[in-house]
């Protein structure tokens, strides 16, 4: 057994466990279909469920519809453009990952970079398949802009309230608005299925993980740390650059929201990697791919705590990028851009 546990290592274990439990609590509060806090936007990935009285909860903005997965935020951009972008991104990343494996064999997956790089590839693979389906739907003449459909539904609800005096029923929690219209119920349930939800979750996890990977590599590892196992070369530089470039390009074109609470998936992704490192070291692995993950130093708890905190600005930076897209571009291109939410 190569992993020697010291008393201060239990603090590191506690930090990771606390982060994971905290992320589960966030998801339980935000993703649970039965809960909705006062004055908050309901952004659950779960499908709408009718209650015992036959009412359906209102869909709040930022809840993704099926066509929002494959349609662009630019009105005149054909879904095929997003399909081509995702497919070419997937192929390019597959080439670089294959090149990396051929140079270093499968042991290269001890690095967080390869984990994140592969996760971004999974997103583009899912996006390619869903975009291909979207192009088929588009050719059938169905609406391609989720924002347009949302506005139609919203206008329908407002008109129905005014003309028919639709009553809203309140339960124990404020903000649980219920609708009686069968038409509205059908519209609400036209949401992304399981694969669409998976694609959105992977996308939001990638946003934080890519920035964490590239920022730590270029700002910490390259300037201050020397790695005898991997030296800086063209391949490694591309691996720590193209992941962000391709994902940001997709963000500039897609219609997906980026809510804050899904940082929980990003935290869980990093926690899983930490546990992976502990397991392989307990099984006999001798060296650490990242010095700040080492457990045989009294400074380990501080490093783990700092790394846990770094997840917030990394994810937050990507949230700001998406917010800037939805705030600045509509002003610059009011007739061409559709807000993601």
pLDDT at 162: 44
pLDDT over 70 at 260, yes or no: yes
pTM: 0.80
pLDDT over 50 at 36, yes or no: no
Average pLDDT over residues 219-229: 71
125 neighbors 80 (Cβ within 8 angstroms): no
262 neighbors 204 (Cβ within 8 angstroms): yes
79 neighbors 202 (Cβ within 8 angstroms): no
pLDDT over 50 at 192, yes or no: yes
How much of the chain exceeds pLDDT 90, in percent? Answer: 51
pLDDT at 229: 54
Helix (H) or strand (E) holding 297: none
pLDDT at 30: 85
Region for 49 from its dihedrals, namely left if φ exceeds 0, alpha if ψ lies in -120 to 50, beta otherwise: beta
Per DSSP, the residues of 197-230 read HHHHHHHHHHHHHHHHHHHHIIIIIHHH---SS-
Average pLDDT over residues 200-212: 96
Please give the Cα distance from 254 to 340 (Å, whole number).
8
pLDDT over 90 at 41, yes or no: no
Beta strands in the chain (DSSP E): 56-57, 178-179
31 neighbors 322 (Cβ within 8 angstroms): no
Per DSSP, the residues of 61-93 read TTPPBGGGGTSBSBTT--HHHHHHHHHHHHHHH
Please give the Cα distance from 108 to 113 (Å, whole number).
9
Please give the Cα distance from 265 to 283 (Å, whole number).
27
**Eight-state DSSP code of residue 71:** S
Average pLDDT over residues 308-319: 96
Q: What is the pLDDT of residues 75-108, one digit of tens each?
A: 888 999 999 999 999 999 999 999 999 988 888 9
Q: Which residues, listed in sequence order, are joined to residue 72 by a DSSP beta bridge?
A: 254
Please give the Cα distance from 64 to 46 (Å, whole number).
10
Average pLDDT over residues 35-47: 42
- Mean pLDDT of all residues in the chain? 79
Q: Which residues, listed in sequence order, are joined to residue 50 by a DSSP beta bridge?
A: 56
pLDDT at 189: 40
pLDDT at 339: 81
Q: Which residues in 303-323 are b (16+ Cβ under 10 Å) and which e? A: bbeebbebbeebbeebbeebe
81 neighbors 105 (Cβ within 8 angstroms): no
CA angle 308, 310, 316 (to 5 degrees): 120
Average pLDDT over residues 49-54: 41
Q: Look at 251 and 341; give whichever has higher pLDDT.
A: 251
Region for 103 from its dihedrals, namely left if φ exceeds 0, alpha if ψ lies in -120 to 50, beta otherwise: alpha
Nearest to 70 by CA among 1, 166, 134: 134
pLDDT over 80 at 191, yes or no: no
Please give the Cα distance from 72 to 75 (Å, whole number).
7
């Amino acid at each position: 057994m190569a992993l020697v546990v010291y008393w201060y290592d239990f603090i590191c274990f506690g930090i990771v466990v606390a982060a994971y439990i905290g992320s589960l609590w966030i998801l339980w509060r935000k993703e649970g279909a039965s809960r909705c806090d006062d004055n908050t936007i309901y952004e659950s990935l779960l499908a709408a469920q009718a209650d015992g009285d036959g009412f359906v909860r209102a869909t709040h903005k930022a809840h993704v519809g099926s066509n929002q997965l494959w349609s662009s935020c630019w009105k005149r951009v054909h879904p095929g453009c997003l399909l081509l972008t995702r497919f070419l991104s997937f192929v390019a990343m597959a080439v670089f990952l294959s090149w990396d494996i051929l140079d270093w064999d499968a042991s290269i997956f001890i690095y967080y970079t390869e984990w994140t790089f592969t996760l971004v590839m999974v997103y583009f693979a899912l996006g390619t398949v869903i975009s291909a389906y979207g192009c088929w739907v588009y050719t059938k003449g169905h609406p391609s802009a989720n924002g347009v459909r949302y506005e139609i539904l919203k206008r329908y609800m407002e008109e129905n309230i005014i003309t028919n005096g639709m009553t809203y029923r309140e339960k124990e929690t404020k903000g649980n608005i219920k609708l009686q219209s069968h038409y509205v119920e059908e519209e609400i349930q036209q949401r992304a299925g399981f694969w669409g939800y998976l694609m959105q979750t992977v996308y939001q996890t990638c946003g934080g993980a890519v920035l964490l990977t590239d920022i730590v590599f270029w700002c910490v590892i390259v300037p201050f740390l020397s790695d005898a196992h991997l030296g800086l070369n063209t391949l490694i530089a591309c691996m720590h650059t193209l992941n962000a470039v391709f994902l940001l390009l997709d963000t500039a074109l897609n219609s997906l929201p980026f809510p804050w609470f899904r940082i929980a998936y990003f935290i869980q992704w990093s926690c899983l990697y930490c546990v992976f490192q502990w397991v392989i070291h307990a099984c006999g692995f001798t060296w650490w791919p990242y010095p700040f993950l080492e457990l045989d130093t009294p400074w380990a708890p501080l490093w783990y705590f700092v790394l846990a905190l770094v997840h917030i600005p990394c994810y937050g930076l990507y949230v700001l990028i998406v917010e800037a897209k939805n705030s600045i571009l509509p002003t610059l291109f009011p007739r061409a851009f559709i807000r993601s939410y």
